[in-house]
Amino acid sequence: MTPPATPAPKPVVAVTGASRGIGHAIVRHFYKKEWDVITLARTPFSQYCPWAEGFVRHITVDLSDSASITSAAAALHELLDGRGLHALVNNAGISPKLPDGRRMDAVNTPLETFLAVQHVNLIAPLLLCQAMLAPLRQVGGSVVNVSSIAAEKVHPFAGAAYAVSKAGLSALTRELAHELGDSGVRVNSVSPGEIETSILSPGTENIAKTQIPMKRLGRPEEVAEVVYFLASAQSSYVNGSEIPINGGQHI
């Protein structure tokens, strides 16, 4: 009698900033597609996440601290246990506001705040890519960076430090795609616009009415679907690209 076939191992994705909003939609989508999901976030594992025993695949990390990132990368290697990393999704990002909720412009952003934003939004993705390069190469994995429409145009709510960090992340995407393409690792990014989450700034609905041809906000799931496309074999010849997800706002 022929023994039953051993099921193929699940592909593995690591997602930063996975505790809410777009990040949570991303991990939910990958889970539904039967990927093994490892989350990295500043907060503990969320009880609302949808996969069984997810707490054993969560890594708490402070992306503003290089030492914490190094420690988290070591923990991620340990969880992989020799398996390759099929996708790294750099989704985490911070966008500080003034005390009254207004955007921080460039000339009035404290240097400490500016540097902290760069570290979380730009330096952390670079450090994680460097640290996880071997398991990514092992399986011809994919890196997906989550940039923003603020990287290409002045935004009424996203501050200057955030915009600069996301513009840098878009540039980093191109640089890494150029450097890693011949090793089988693809690097792409998505650029969301106004996405309906719990942390929308007041007035975002007006942007939808006046600046977005589709006249509505995006859903986190609509970002997750594009991220999944870029991480999967469906986009096997897509490298160094950035896909806007904004209902036509960029035009």
Phi/psi of residue 202, nearest 5 degrees: -55, 135
Break the chain into its structural domains and give their ranges. Answer: 12-245
- Residue 162 known to be catalytic: yes
pTM above 0.95, yes or no: no
pLDDT at 205: 76
Closest CA to 139 of 14, 224, 15: 14
Which residue bears the tokens 């906000």?
Answer: 217
**Tens place of pLDDT per residue across the chain (251 aa):** 666 656 778 999 999 998 778 998 999 899 999 999 999 998 876 665 555 454 448 999 999 999 999 999 999 999 999 999 999 999 999 999 888 878 899 999 999 999 999 999 999 999 999 999 999 999 999 999 999 998 898 888 889 999 999 999 999 999 999 999 999 999 999 999 888 886 667 777 778 788 888 888 889 999 999 999 999 999 999 999 999 998 888 88
CATH superfamily of 12-245: NAD(P)-binding Rossmann-like Domain (3.40.50.720)
Which of 48, 162, 228, 237 is flagged as catalytic?
162
